[in-house]
Amino acid sequence: MSSVENDNQKGKGEKEKAGGKKDLIRDWVILALSVIGAVVLLSFFPAKVDPTITTSKNYLVEMAWILPAVMILMGLFKVWVSKEMVIKYLGKASGLKGILIAALLGATPTGPLYVAFPLAAAMIDKGARILNIVVFLSAWACIKIPQEMIEIQFLGLKFMATRLVLTVLLVSVMGLVIEKIIENTGSISPELE
């Protein structure tokens, strides 16, 4: 490796460290502002202190149970799913097939939506199209196979099918708009490019 390439690598590493420090500082500032905001609000509404603490504790316990599984899932995804496969099925050239695959991937699992965010970030990192990520996250949030079965029971097949088709269509339009905004502003996080 030449000295120029060596210097370039060092410069790149220093920039990544500086960016990581800025992100860490930003995260701590957001956390501090959130805690300060919560304390201020709870001082105005003291009757809400107990429910807030109980809800926060329950949420932290839920996260403690779910996050290890999410980390394992992320590791398996990074190792087992190649970048080429993600680009082929969810990348720019995937078209309608990519939208349908993203909807199916989002509709199949159960669990809270925050589990899907690290997976979506990993898919973006491996070359998935923003449109397909929006469809994936939206499907995770509002198209669940068990939910569809219950919806058929209470609201009928026609209602469920209409809502499902409209959801996928409108989410796809929303995904296209978000993709164009991100492309035009370059506002996606640099570590995901």
pLDDT for res 144? 84
- The four Cα atoms 15, 18, 22, 23 give a dihedral, to 10 degrees, of 60
Instruction: Report the distance separating Cα 38 and Cα 53, nearest Å.
Output: 11
Q: What is the value of pTM for the model shown?
A: 0.70
Give the Cα separation of 136 and 116 in Å (integer).
Answer: 8
Give the max Cα distance, the chain. 70
Q: Out of 1-15, 45-59, 124-138, 156-170, which region has the weakest mean confidence (pLDDT)?
A: 1-15
Q: What is the pLDDT of residue 191?
A: 47
Residue 104 has pLDDT above 50, yes or no: yes
> Per-residue pLDDT for 111 more than 70?
yes
Name the more confident of 39 and 5: 39
CA neighbor of 120 nearest in space, from 185, 109, 22, 28: 109
For the ranges 2-6, 15-19, 50-54, 126-130, which has the lowest average pLDDT?
2-6
Q: Which residues contact 128 (CB under 8 A, 6 or more apart)?
A: 86, 87, 90, 91, 102
What DSSP state is assigned to residue 136? H
Q: Is the pLDDT of residue 143 over 90?
A: no
pLDDT at 21: 81
pLDDT digits (tens, 9 = 90+) for 129-139: 999 999 999 99
Report the distance separating Cα 117 and Cα 121, nearest Å.
6
Instruction: Assess whether pLDDT exceeds 80 at residue 4.
Output: no
**pLDDT tens by residue, 149-166:** 889 999 999 999 999 999
What pLDDT is recorded for position 193? 47
Domain ranges of the chain: 81-193
Give the residue with greater pLDDT, 68 vs 7: 68
- What number is the average pLDDT over the span 173-183? 92
Q: What's residue 9's pLDDT?
A: 54
Given a cut of 90, whether residue 115 has pLDDT beyond it is no
Residue 123 has pLDDT above 60, yes or no: yes
